[in-house]
Each structure stands twice: as C-alpha cells, then as structure tokens.
Structure 1
Amino acid sequence: MIMRPGQQQLLLPVSPLFMWASLIVALLVNMVPIGRAAWTPDLLALVIVFWSVHQPARIGIGAAFVFGLLMDVHQASMLGQHALSYTTLGFFAIMIHRRLLWFPVASQALQVLPLFAVSHLIELAIRMIGGGVFPGWTLLIAPLIEAALWPLVSVLLLAPQRRAPEPDANRPL
C-alpha cells in the first residue's frame, strides 16, 4: 500500500491469540453485573467493529453472531437481539473497512458513529417488538460514548502491533 508522508506507521501482523483474547475480555466486561443502564456503551460491539475493520478476514459476521448469542443468553433478552445487532455491525464494518482506514482516527470515530447508532436502534426495535419497555432517551448517548471511545480502543488494540521505528539507509521501512 502506498502511504502518504505522515501517515501511520507500518504495523506488525496481529496475533490471533491477542485478537480473540480482546474479544473475550470485552465480552466479560459486558457481563460484569454492575447494572446495565441505557446509556452504557457496548464494549463488545466496539471491539467487534474494530477487528472487523482491521482484520475482516479473521473476524467476520459469524464471530459477531456467536458473540451476540452469548450476550442474548447472558442478558436473558430476546434470542437474536444482540446477534442481529452485532452481525449488522460486522457487515457494515467490513463493507467500509478499506475506506475507513485511510482517515485519521478522529475521523474514523465520526464515521463509525452511524454504525453504533444503527446497532442500538436494531436492539431497541427488537425489544419494542417483543413487548419490552422503552429504556428512555438516554439510549441516544451510548453511540456517542462508543464513538468517543474509538480512538482509545484503536491505541490500545494496535499497541502490540506497533513496529519500533528503526529505519536506516538499507531498511527505510
């Protein structure tokens, strides 16, 4: 890939163990029994979108579906509510991953905001169709928090792949 000057540095290949471990840690953080408010960000959705953008061949719609089913079972919600939401997130993230990676991280956060908003709207629609209670307008805050966390998640999850900057005359990369 041709990179412009000042663009991000080259990254080492991602470790599959680290990638899956980060997804499992995000799942476990979502499962912490601290009470789930409507405005609470969905960290698992955030990590699924991140890996779907950065490693679309390894984390696909199937993994998003399985993690969604696990969240449905854990929260005792309608089976398929999170699964549909996460598969939609994974699909759209894979669709835009080539274009998204050309932008700086702050611009990426603005571009993934609609993905998170659609995800929460899908969960809300399924909850309401199933006869659930409207959680309130604070639900609109969750996608904003998730988009605001995008730069932090990008720094944390790309940290193991950062290459030490040691260019010399024989190895400019």
Structure 2
Amino acid sequence: MNTSSPRAAARQFDAGQFRHALSQFATGVTVITTRLADGSFRGLTASSFNSVSLDPPLVLWSLGEAANSMPVFSGNSHYVINVLAADQAELAERFSRRGDDPFANVEYELSRTGQPILKGVSAWFECHNRSRYPEGDHVIFVGEVENCAASPQTALIFHGGRFGSTPIPVK
C-alpha cells in the first residue's frame, strides 16, 4: 500500500526556520560505535535514534551522506548505539569533533561481536547492520538488535541547542 503523495507542496520556510523548529524537539543523545577490521574503533554522536519494531527488534539512526564515517558504518556488519547518561555531555561533544581519537582515556567494554560499549551509559543496543535507506542528504540505518541493556541512570537530552537531562529517572 503506497500512502505517499506524488510531490510535496512548495516550502514556506527557510533552512534557518526549519533548524530552529527542529531544535524545539528534545531528543536523546547517543554515540554510535563500531570496530574496524584492523581492530581500531570509530564512533560518532547522533541524536537521530528511534525504535522501529519490537518483533523483530529494530531501531534506526541516520548519518549525513557526506560524513567521513559513512563508508565505515555502511560497510560494517555490527555497531553499538550507546544512549548517554546525563553526566556524559563531554562524551557527546568529544565524539562529535574531528581530529583527536575520541576513545582516548574513555572506558569501554567489548560486546559479543567485539564492538565498543561505553561505560556508564543509560542503555546500549548491539545491532546487526540490517539495512540502509538514502533519504534527502542522509542515510537511515536500520539495525536489528542482537543484545541490549539498560541502567536506571537519567538520560542526557539535547534541546534548543543545549544538553540537559530528563526530569524523571527510569526505574
């Protein structure tokens, strides 16, 4: 069943208005991590994370098509989505910068498939890289969750261009 229209109506806003409107939606903050064939790690900060399905267990996140890490995440079979805790804003900033190794002096453990799971996160999802869908200037990654865990820590959120925390801790 195709429910899409043939074409969208003409836009009545500019890119700045769109970005500002998007900033009003509070999102969780994640760091997506993976291990390369040579044993090195890569990671990036992403707030575009969402559940897709409970059966099978599917989640999604997106990455800009022009991102330097696109070949890494497109080509690897597995990755971990680390949901950052309220006290981990520095990790979000660290994994969003280019240059220095973001894993330097960061505690992590390895998942069953050898992917880095950051210590102290609110939750993590070890995913098989199931499918990818190009849309606009991003690629949507759908991961099938093979393992996951959660802690009762308050999650880090991003809203209005700033980091904060959720008002209600998870039990």
Q: TM-score, normalised by structure 1?
A: 0.23
Structure with the higher fraction of residues in strand conformation:
2
Quick check: which has more Rg, 1 or 2? Answer: 1
Q: TM-score, normalised by structure 2?
A: 0.23
